[in-house]
Structure 1
Amino acid sequence: MGGKNSKKNANPELTEPEIEFLLNNTKFDRDGIIRWYSDFLRDCPDGKLDKKEFEKIYSQLYPGGNPARFSKYVFDVFDADGSKYISFTEFMLAMTALSDTDVTKRLRLTFQIYDVNDNHQIDVKEMTKVIDALYDLKDVPKDERKGELSASNRAKAIFSKLDLDESKGLNVDEFVNGCLGDEFLIRLLLPEGSQ
């Protein structure tokens, strides 16, 4: 009865090289990594967190909002190898990045979320999409998304402040340096939970 099926359905093991990599690249100790892995396998028995499961996590964090679009942007950044799922290692690296106390590092990660087309530049259109997705995520009422508070007008206002060379695109340094000088922009642009 056991034979082939029990091996096929067994949870993947966390290898010593993976533990060593995480010890060297995250803030977690060995016991913490093993605890996180156990929890990760409880939710993802095959060791793979897909977009649908990732969106469920965001749904729990934002029960009144619609996390579909924003969670997709974040998922794409965390899926570093483009495999269409987040491995435990990618998950732990993301957890470390989101909880880092260094605002510059968090802003660099946030830049990647806003860089939807992954060309190392953010344009007004990309920023508008992500701000609109943030509005959905946080369930901002439609009447609070009008006029100067609309995603499009917010993106344009941010660009007028950060795009100093008027290139119509922000590179990571312009984004980070501009945000570091403005507490309001940091609160607006950093994903919730990473501030």
Structure 2
Amino acid sequence: MGNCTGSAMEELQACESHQWYRQFMTDYPSGLLTFYEFKLLFGLRNLSDTSNAYVETMFTTFDMDNDGFIDLMEYVAALSLVLKGGVQQKLRWNFKLYDVDRSGCIDREELLQIIKSIRALNGIPSKVSSEDFANMLFDKININGDGELSYAEFMEGGGGGGVQNDSMLLTTLTESLDLTHIVQKIQRDI
């Protein structure tokens, strides 16, 4: 990545941060990334209403201070999550993303909407319908049967069989955070 020299991990991280800063300020001189620019970054145009709502929800999860923009720190935090985040961090982000109404729980309709949107955006074919997948998730980890997944149920539901302990669910959910093509574009631009 760029012209960084130095062997220490701290130097590499500082160099990456500097390059991200330089690229961000080159691409967004105001220091703020708008929702429109966020969609352009992903190459997303002519989206259905459902897909656009999903992308807007994704934007909102990265806009940590809810000011309607992604600033440099939010941008670096998002890249760090994508590049270096652990499973727990990515699942926490997924939970926040899926909780569209910010109620602290994910209901069946929210989950179904997100699954449909992810499939539409990524073009990922699946043998299991969106409805069947959403129902399978709820049946598997909704411990108290209330039709909503709390964060604890999402992570640990079904007697320790939450998302992080189910390889198929984990793979499906973490694929929604696969922004490799965006990171590669950013690295090429640097």
- Structure 1 Cα separation of the partners of residues 55 and 97 of structure 2: 10
Q: Name the structure 2 match of 1:53.
A: 37
**Of 163, 178, 185, which residue of structure 2 is paired with 1:193?**
178
1:82 aligns with one of 66, 82, 85: 66
Bigger shift: residues 149-158 or 37-46? 149-158
What do the CA deviations read for 1:121-152 (whole angstroms, capped 9, x no partner)? 101010011001101111246xx6xxx83322
Corresponding residue for residue 145 of structure 2: 166
Q: Which residue of 1 aligns with 2:27?
A: 43
The 2-side partners of 1:58 and 1:92 are apart by: 16
Q: Residue 29 of structure 1 aligns to a residue in which SS?
A: helix
Q: Distance in 2 between matches of 1:164 and 1:153?
A: 18
**C-alpha spacing 1:116/1:184, structure 2 compared with 1 (3 Å):** same
Q: Is the 8 A contact 1:100 1:106 kept in 2?
A: no
Residue 42 of structure 1 and its aligned partner are, at CA, apart by 1.8
Shift of the 27–78 alpha-carbon distance from structure 1 to 2, 3 Å rule, reads farther
Structure 1 ranges of 4+ moved more than 6 A:
none
The answer as to whether partners of 1:70 and 1:137 remain within 8 angstroms in 2 is: no
String of CA shifts for 1:69-97, please: whole Å, max 9, x gaps: 33212101011111111011011112222
Distance (Å, rounded) in 2 between the aligned partners of 1:175 and 1:96: 23
Deviates more, 1:82-91 or 1:132-141: 132-141
Q: Distance in 1 between matches of 2:77 and 2:35?
A: 17
Name the CA distance, whole Å, in 2 between partners of 1:91 and 1:97.
10
The DSSP-based 3-state class of the residue aligned with 2:178 is coil
1:37 Cα shift?
Answer: 0.8
Contact 2:90 2:177 in 1 (8 A): no
1:98 matched residue in structure 2: 82
Deviation of 1:194 (Å)? 6.6
Identity %: 25
Q: Which residue of 2 aligns with 1:175?
A: 154
- Please tell me whether the aligned partners of residues 82 and 177 of structure 2 are also in contact (alpha carbons under 8 angstroms): no
Q: Is the 8 A contact 1:180 1:186 kept in 2?
A: yes
- Give TM-score, length-normalised by structure 2: 0.75
> Cα RMSD over matched residues?
2.6
1:151 aligns with 2:130: yes
Question: Which residue number corresponds to residue 69 of structure 1?
Answer: 53
2:121: which partner in 1?
Answer: 137
Unaligned ranges ≥5, structure 2: 1-9, 157-161, 181-190
Larger Rg: 1
Q: TM-score, normalised by structure 1?
A: 0.74
